[in-house]
Structure 1
Amino acid sequence: MQMPSLENLSLAEKDHDKTTPQETRQEPLYKPVLRSKKLTCVGLAIELINKWRELDEEFPNFSKSSILVSCEQEVLMVEEYVAAEGPDNISRVDKEHVMVCVNVIIDGRPGVILADPGYHVPRIITVMMDEEDPHTGWFTQLDLPKCRKDFCYIFNEINSNYVEWHEKKTKGSKIHMETSLIYVARPYLEGINVTIRRNLVYETRSILARNENGYLIAGIVFEIRETDNEFTLFMDVGDKKWKSKYKFCLFENDAVLPEQVLAKLAEVNTVLRFEDGELLSTLRSVATVLTDHMFVTQMLAINKFILSYNRNEIPDVEYQEDENQEGGT
């Protein structure tokens, strides 16, 4: 059950050998790339695999057995989805998230080890086919006064090529359940070309710092709108607990900012481990981009179309993102 290394993968979700001459791809206008210090779930997963190379001395070839796997989030029709031979046989998928996976056999019992740095899960998840020890089962991912999140990962009963990721959100007396599907049968080779490209047009944007338990401690977050864009700047470290909202228009054209705003930006900049003035420079750049009304309108339209298309909806149907989604992957 050992999987091939990232450097020498012979299997992929999409079998390119099946491509006919009539199905040749048109060269895209934009080629997504990984940028230093600007890591999505794809970059974080690759970085984790690189760090796992230090384990090879004690566990030979552990990093070479570690692969990227794709995740389809919030799947509504699970049975219909897993009935297909593989993700490449499903016409409408998002593939908006990736994880790190290692296939294991423990005393003859198959399972997988999963790591999810992109979703800031501060633990390794063990998923055994028989759900016996050392199967992780349910655990609490987030426990705040107003919101609690519990996760559980199990193999799908119909198709063991998939692991089900169950998320239980509790707000007061209200409970919301979601099921996502992780394809663990083959390595995911299109993380940069597909997943990062998909993330380019998400409405929710953020730069976040978290502690070792995955809790947010500082950063910025905002929803892109056609007009009147604003962001939330926050800090939650020790006795420093505050949250402020600012209009992006205040950061246009190198405008002079109040000392109080600059002080808060400096505090968050430090926690984010940015270079001096980097956060301010980033916000000014974003403010400039958001003044391009045509670009913003097109970006939001593309995101809306993808969401509606994958849900078999009419493209102009209104869709509201989960208010708890913090920057995606």
Structure 2
Amino acid sequence: METYQKLCWDIEVNLQKLLEDLNYDTVNNLLTFYRAYKKWGRGDFITFFRSYSPPVCPPNLTCVGLALELWNRLCILDDEFPNISEHFFIVSCEENIELLEQYISNGRFLDPYSVEKEHVLLALKIQVGNRQGILLSDPGYHIGRVVTVMKDKSYPHTGWFVQSNENNMKKEYSYEYSGLSNDFIEWKSLNVKGEVVQSSESALIYVARAYQTAVDVTERRNLVYNFRSLLSRDQKGHLIAGIYFKMKENSDEFTMFYKEGDLKRRVKMKFSQFSKGEEVDGISAELINKCNEQLNLPVNSLPQLLREIGEMMQDRSFVSIMLGVNNDIGMFAEHY
């Protein structure tokens, strides 16, 4: 037990440093994809989407890149825990599942048309004495702690914990082996206001074997997802600053947030404010500079990024086709 506790501590040190060092970013991978599509000559979008090889390059990382980067950083633990980095593996996660029994019992997870595999985590199978369990690390969901899931649900099983608490709204998570199959971890999420549960969701993490196609499937699927964000986190995974927006036809709006003292400020703005040749008013420029700094971006990078996003959003043909593919993926997964 003491050895395991030391291991968890060492992993958390590296995990928390990664959260602080690297943003969660689903904006730049889309812009890179868009530039490549334009350079390709705007032929058949589906053909390009299927043949495109998504780059995974720091510092612009989604959940896939963050999990891989954490794995790479944990190689440092091999000095104290010989060859332990060889035993980590990427696991896949299916989110927002309503019928868990149907998904597992009917083998839906084996059908490539009925899954999306939207998320990935880093895992390590463990044995404490003769007790089986698994260790999970999830930098993509900003979780600044190691999660331990024991089959017998006894210590060091993590159980329920508060992931975030803002504006009187708590987000609570729990992970445990599914009662339907030990091949899965059931991840439960609650949104609690005051003492009242406002909403709940369940996801399934497949832990029976390593997920070999995280880049080809999950990173690719992310390219056409209709919600984009660029977020900085502190060591505990709390959000500091960022931008987020929905990909919608004829849309020009995004939300920016940043910290001001102990408060978090949110401002709705328009991408068109940053069009080439347009003068950004003094107040907007000041707010953008604050967000730019708290995102740890090079000076004046954020206005340029917003300009590029705005130009992409004005490409109505691209946005329409992309949203159509996103919808098709969702429809396949829902109806198969």
TM above 0.5: yes
Letter in 2 for 1:115: S
Q: How many residues end up aligned between the 2 structures?
A: 289
Quick one: which of 146, 153, 156 aligns to 1:131? 153
| Counterpart in the other structure of 2:295 | 272
Q: CA offset at residue 85 of structure 1?
A: 5.5
Change (3 A) 1:208 1:85: same
Range moving further from structure 2, 124-133 or 255-264: 255-264
Letter in 1 for 2:162: T
Are residue 294 (structure 1) and residue 317 (structure 2) matched?
A: yes
Q: Would the aligned equivalents of 1:254 and 1:284 in 2 still touch at CA under 8 Å? A: no
Range moving further from structure 2, 293-302 or 304-313: 304-313
Are residue 66 (structure 1) and residue 70 (structure 2) matched?
A: no
Q: Would the aligned equivalents of 1:216 and 1:236 in 2 still touch at CA under 8 Å? A: no
Change (3 A) 1:264 1:92: same
Cα distance in 2 for partners of 1:102, 1:113 equals 5
Q: Would the aligned equivalents of 2:228 and 2:247 in 1 still touch at CA under 8 Å? A: yes
Q: Deviations over 1:106-141 (max 9, x none)?
A: 111111000000001111000011111111111111
SS of the aligned residue for 1:228 comes to coil
Q: Would the aligned equivalents of 2:108 and 2:115 in 1 still touch at CA under 8 Å? A: no
Q: CA offset at residue 40 of structure 1?
A: 0.2
| Counterpart in the other structure of 1:199 | 222
Q: Deviations over 1:171-202 (max 9, x none)?
A: 35343221100011111111111101111111
Scaled by the length of structure 2, the TM-score of the pair is 0.81
Cα distance in 2 for partners of 1:174, 1:64 equals 40
Quick one: which of 129, 132, 157 aligns to 1:110? 132
Quick one: which of 165, 183, 199 aligns to 1:176? 199
Kindly indicate which of the two structures has a greater share of residues assigned to helix: 2
Matches within 5 A, 1:39-54: 39-54=61-76
Q: Would the aligned equivalents of 1:81 and 1:90 in 2 still touch at CA under 8 Å? A: no
Structure 1 segments unaligned to the other structure (5+ residues) = 1-25, 314-329
Q: Would the aligned equivalents of 2:187 and 2:204 in 1 still touch at CA under 8 Å? A: yes
Matches within 5 A, 1:1-329: 28-84=50-106, 87-89=109-111, 91-172=113-194, 173-239=196-262, 241-312=264-335
Cα distance in 1 for partners of 2:129, 2:106 equals 30
Q: CA offset at residue 91 of structure 1?
A: 3.8
Higher relative contact order (CA 8 A, sep 6+): 2
What is the aligned-residue identity percentage? 37
Cα distance in 2 for partners of 1:241, 1:164 equals 32
Structure 2 segments unaligned to the other structure (5+ residues) = 1-47
Scaled by the length of structure 1, the TM-score of the pair is 0.83
RMSD: 2.0
Cα distance in 1 for partners of 2:130, 2:262 equals 51
Range moving further from structure 2, 270-279 or 234-243: 234-243
